[in-house]
Amino acid sequence: MNVGKHTAPGEQNPEPSHTPQRTCVGCREVGEPAGWERFVYVEGHGLIHDVRRKAPGRGVWVHADPHCLQKALERGGFQRSLKRRVELPQLSELLAQLREGARRRLNEALQIALRARATTPGQTFVKEAMRNDTIVVLILASDAGESTRTKFTTNAQRKGIDVIELWTGDELGQMAKGQAYVSVIGVEAGPHAERIVKHWKSLEALSATSKT
């Protein structure tokens, strides 16, 4: 006789979750590591941020939060998880690695969106896309002229479009099929825009910690 919850005819038992659980070495929370950060120890280099979260070797997981990082440094969380004594960097060094990783992920997300043709480069095409409400993110060159910046940011704010100013026009041009200079790129609604915004907000949050 089976003891426990019965399954009604036609129902299926729920599949058990196979998502791996991890422990934050700072606050000791156990959970799915989506959005967490992974560090690995590399001989001769110390703790290195595993940007892709796939590097070989024993890794440690931690929330992308200065408080968790500080606790891990103060309470021996990194050594305990790595099962060895390691020379630990300063909190500022770990945060700098996380910011660099967030910027790298953001660069890759934009490049993937460009290759997938989920973007609209160039002022003329972006203006039309904004009129048609087909873009949700505006990439504006950090060195764009004042009139260009005012025109596009004003319209974007009115429509609730996120504006990101992290790349120069030359850098955007290189990513957009090797063009000489691109002042604006619109990103269409969808998973590519969501990924770009996620990494951008992560970078913004990490950058804010360096100013406090």
- For the chain, the domains span 22-89, 101-209
Sequential pLDDT tens for the chain (212 residues): 344 444 444 545 555 556 789 999 999 999 999 889 999 998 888 899 999 998 988 899 999 999 999 999 999 999 999 988 888 899 999 999 999 999 999 999 999 999 999 999 999 999 999 999 999 999 999 999 999 999 999 999 999 999 999 999 999 999 987 778 999 999 999 999 999 999 999 999 998 876 65
Pick the CATH number of 22-89 from 3.30.590.10, 3.30.1230.10, 3.60.20.10, 3.30.450.20: 3.30.1230.10
b/e for 23-53, b at 16 or more Cβ within 10 A? bbbbeeeeeebeebbbbbbeeeeebbbbbee
Nearest to 137 by CA among 182, 196, 198, 183: 196
What is the topology classification, in CATH, of domain 101-209? 60s Ribosomal Protein L30; Chain: A; (3.30.1330)
Q: Do domains 22-89 and 101-209 have the same CATH topology?
A: no
